[in-house]
Amino acid sequence: MTLPVPTARRLAIGLLAGIILLIPRPAAAQCPTWDGLLADESLLDITISAPQMAGLRMWFVYVTPATLGRCTLGDTLFDTASAELSGAQDRHVFWIGTEGPALHLFRLERIYMIQETRRYDMVGSLALDSPATVLNGKPPLTAEALIAFEGPVDFAEPVTIFYEGIMGSVPGEYWFPENLGSDR
């Protein structure tokens, strides 16, 4: 018995689809949750307690590596941000999320980073429409942005990120994710 071509083609396509579904594939990497990033110190939490800025809270995530960047920003925003803020080989981009009643006093240009004796001033920023981050479990955020620093960094050592407020600087120590490797 000879099957008509359209029926044979449908059977072949059905068999091929079934075979493709049965072929084992490597599992896609799961993106960490907000709490997971806090637990492995990939998310820096800085709370400003100066009286005039009480309650302003900032979170930082290093989003230059594609895996962490895509998990934090999503594919489309990561690709757009990479084009906007990348450039130099030693450019380091952080996502920053803020919440708090004193947000009107917050200024991106007051953020800088230090590692050992080297100071890194911000070389670029991009304000984001909230909600921008796609991290599961995040708190309600008032504002989000991307900031970039430039210069060589030792990923085995922490950096200290400072917010320089009216009454002084508020620091937070950030350890880069251990698995940066070739993803950087």
CATH number of the domain that 90 lies in? 2.60.40
* 171 domain residue, yes or no: yes
CA 68/CA 19 separation, integer angstroms: 33
* 53 domain residue, yes or no: yes
pLDDT of residue 177: 83
Structure tokens at 166: 């009216």
* 92 domain residue, yes or no: yes
* 124 domain residue, yes or no: yes
Task: State how many domains the chain has.
Answer: 1
b/e string for 73-101 if b means 16 or more Cβ within 10 A?
A: bbeebbeebbeebeeeeebbbbbbbbbbe
Which residues are CB-contacts of 113 (< 8 A; sequence separation ≥ 6)?
A: 92, 119, 120, 149, 159, 160, 161, 162
pLDDT of residue 18: 34
* 132 domain residue, yes or no: yes
Which of the 8 DSSP states describes residue 151? S
Average pLDDT of the chain? Answer: 77
Percent of the chain with pLDDT over 70: 71
The model's confidence at residue 20, banded by pLDDT at 50, 70 and 90, is very low
Res. 4: pLDDT tops 70: no
Region 86-93: mean pLDDT is 79
Tell me the residue ranges of DSSP E strands in 13-157: 43-48, 56-62, 91-99, 111-115, 118-128, 143-150
Region 131-158: mean pLDDT is 89
Range of the domain at 85: 29-183
Residue 51 or 12, more confident: 51
* 155 domain residue, yes or no: yes
* Contact of 42 with 179, CB cutoff 8 Å: no
